[in-house]
Structure 1
Amino acid sequence: MAEYEKIKQPFEPVYDKDSRILILGSLPSVKSRENGFYYGHPQNRFWKVIADIYGSTAPVNIEEKKELLHQCKIALWDVIESCEIKGSSDSSIRDVKTADLRMILNQCPIEELFANGKTAEKLYNKFSRTETGRQIIALPSTSPANAAYSLEKLIRRWSVIREPAEGK
């Protein structure tokens, strides 16, 4: 069994002045940290889902991923600034310090907040909602651990992000 490890968010948020939606995860997985960017596990379906919703090709490197987010007016970050965790197990998260989401919310015309999975939603509602005064919409996790959702089913459920991102 893995031991608890103190993890600090290794990635900066991705956003620009045109970001209209904010997608929040909990904390980058071990594989994402090894690969140097959000949703870096090869089996995580996040990038395929976003690309399909916006009629784009799935990005393969960090620059392409950032470009896709900017084109789609998506800001991306995590609820957690630091915590103790065993491996990539969201259920083991403890001693949470949350990220200051106002950094994005005060600089961008964010219309909707979305959580990539129940853990991100739960952490946001517990630690950040009072501070931001904003509700979050939970979407099914794109993690490979979420075997209940096929890629097609994820794309259908996640398609709700398109409307606020387009400013409608």
Structure 2
Amino acid sequence: MSLIYSFPPVATPAAHTLILGSMPGSASLLAEQYYAHPRNLFWPILGELIGARPDLSYPLRLHRLTSAGIALWDVLQRCEREGSLDTRIDSQSIVPNDFATFFDHHPTIRRVFFNGTMAETVFRRHVLQTLPPLPLRYHRLPSTSPANAAFSFARRLEAWQLVAADDNNNEHQDSST
């Protein structure tokens, strides 16, 4: 197993939405880019939602995200994993990112979207209890990973519409789907 590290967050002080993955896969780590695997549907979905299309340069895709008020990060700071699958993460090696500091520096974030079950599970198990009460809404979305073959592109795109939806309701809600 290899000890691997995630990337720094992509965020501006004005971010209102945070999308969390678990840990970058091998293709992403090699490319030093979030969601670099060519079959991962993250960028095609965000392309449909906010214009962050996969054919754009990586810096331009990140600019489109941040311009839309979306921050991007991973739950894990580091872990040991063989290969790219979340199921191969050694649970004893998990070290989460510092979310208390992140949310302190990004106080306008109100929505957290988990890109798949593992991101949500690890966040709830290793992060949530370390945070002060925050006015955040949590939503689990179907993973954009090619390993999530049970969901078609259309089904994932429909679920991910929440990310681009106008969100004027500031009431705390925990709606994992």
Partner of 1:136 in structure 2? 138
Partner of 1:76 in structure 2? 72
Partner of 2:150 in structure 1? 148
Report Cα offsets for 1:10-61 as digits up to 9, x if no partner: x21000011101111000000011111100001111011112123x251432
> How far 1:136 moved relative to its partner?
2.7
> How far 1:70 moved relative to its partner?
1.0
Are 1:25 and 2:21 matched, yes or no?
yes
Higher mean Cα deviation, 15-24 or 61-70?
A: 61-70
Partner of 2:86 in structure 1? 90
Given that 2:52 and 2:62 are in contact with CA atoms closer than 8 Å, whether structure 1 keeps it comes out as no
Q: Distance in 2 between matches of 1:82 and 1:101?
A: 14
- Identical aligned pairs, as a percentage? 32
Partner of 1:125 in structure 2? 124
Q: Distance in 2 between matches of 1:88 and 1:5?
A: 11
> Aligned partner of 1:30: which letter?
S
Partner of 2:4 in structure 1? 7
For structure 2, the residue ranges without an aligned partner over 5 or more in a row are 169-177
**Which secondary structure state, in structure 2, belongs to the residue aligned with residue 137 of structure 1?**
strand
**Which secondary structure state, in structure 1, belongs to the residue aligned with residue 9 of structure 2?**
coil
Q: Distance in 1 between matches of 2:52 and 2:5?
A: 31
Partner of 2:34 in structure 1? 38
Q: Distance in 1 between matches of 2:18 and 2:101?
A: 12
Partner of 2:175 in structure 1? none
Given that 1:20 and 1:167 are in contact with CA atoms closer than 8 Å, whether structure 2 keeps it comes out as no
Given that 1:30 and 1:87 are in contact with CA atoms closer than 8 Å, whether structure 2 keeps it comes out as yes
Structure scoring higher RCO (CA < 8 A, sep ≥ 6) equals: 1
Tell me how many residue pairs correspond in the alignment: 161
Partner of 2:100 in structure 1? 102
For structure 1, the residue ranges without an aligned partner over 5 or more in a row are none
Q: Distance in 2 between matches of 1:103 and 1:48?
A: 31
TM-score, normalisation: structure 1: 0.89
> How far 1:65 moved relative to its partner?
1.7
Q: Distance in 2 between matches of 1:77 and 1:131?
A: 18
Q: Let me know the Cα RMSD of the aligned residues.
A: 1.5
Given that 1:30 and 1:88 are in contact with CA atoms closer than 8 Å, whether structure 2 keeps it comes out as yes
Q: Distance in 1 between matches of 2:139 and 2:61?
A: 23
TM-score, normalisation: structure 2: 0.85
Q: Distance in 2 between matches of 1:40 and 1:65?
A: 12
Distance change in 2, residues 1:100/1:148 (3 Å): same
Give 4+ residue runs of structure 1 displaced > 4 Å after superposition.
none
